[in-house]
Amino acid sequence: MPAPKIMLLFGVLAVMLVFFGAIVGVLVGNMLVFMSIFFAIAITMNVVSYYKSDSIMLRLTKTKIISRDENPRFYDLVKKVSETAGLPMPKVGIMQSSVPNAFATGRDKNHAVVVATGSILAMLNDDELEGVVGHEISHVTHRDILVSTVAATIATIISYIGNIIIISELFGGINNRNNNAGLLLILSAILIPLGATFVRLGISRSREAYADTGSVELVKKPAALISALQKISKPLRQPIAAQKRNSSPVPSAYSSLFIVNNFGGGALLKLFSTHPSLEARVKNITETAKRLGLSI
């Protein structure tokens, strides 16, 4: 996604956050105080998320950092693609999971980690796995971890504020306001977080498409990347309960960091998807390959 468009979407999120604070402030009589509090919370959470994104994600997914001796195939592919991209060698990790997937994390190119689940290493051939690694390395070069973390943090703050307001209103409201003021607060607490969620998802889907493009440009194996996405996007035959028993936990807030979101979901999965549809991704990869003169 072009930088101006990203800045526009972040601007929309920022306006939502400040506007939310203004609404609450006007209705309770402390607009400046509430706006300042929300802004301070947002800044604090952004800073913590940015500097601790790698350690947080590795801890949550119980990922093990490996040496080359432990998995030379995966390690060498990460090294190969990193060198092609002109990046320092990232740390390499393996997450024990029955769900085939991969992700990258870290605040910049000097603190990057590329992780694959044990099942994706077993499922994909070398070319397919290289395409996946290219996607993850592209996230690092585009600083998508920072972009996704900031977007998710702001949207989460907005949602958190909305939840507090709704709970407060259900238990009598703040300062016993009139019914109209209470109704306006509840509507704001529902609609603004929902809007922020859709903006965040739009950012996430755009960055995933951008990383697919980056993989084709780096690795130059579009057919292998398409094949990999098709394999790992297939619904798992294993029941969700069995997946949970055999997998490290993946909090939904961090599902956008993975190459596909195949950790389960309900009927609203497509509507609230953090990733483009498989069809859209195949189309984007195909168009990128044609632009570069590569065969599919």
Catalytic residues: 136
What does the DSSP 8-state code read for residue 64? E
B/e letters for 182-209, b = 16+ CB within 10 Å, e = fewer, are beebbebbeebbeebbebbbebbbbbbb
11 CA to centre of own chain? 18
* DSSP-H helix ranges across 29-143: 31-61, 72-85, 118-123, 126-141
In sequence order, which residues have a C-beta less than 8 Å from that of residue 150 and are 6 or more positions away?
10, 46, 49, 50
Q: Is 110 left (phi over 0), alpha (psi -120 to 50) or beta?
A: alpha
Q: What whole-number distance in Å separates Cα of residue 146 and Cα of residue 50?
A: 6
CA angle at residue 109 from 104 to 111, to 5 degrees? 70
Q: What whole-number distance in Å separates Cα of residue 230 and Cα of residue 220?
A: 18
- Token pair of 267, please? 């009927």
**Widest distance between CA atoms in the chain:** 68
Using an 8 Å Cβ cutoff, are 209 and 281 in contact?
yes
Q: In terms of Cα–Cα distance, which of 241, 232, 287 is closest to 262?
A: 232
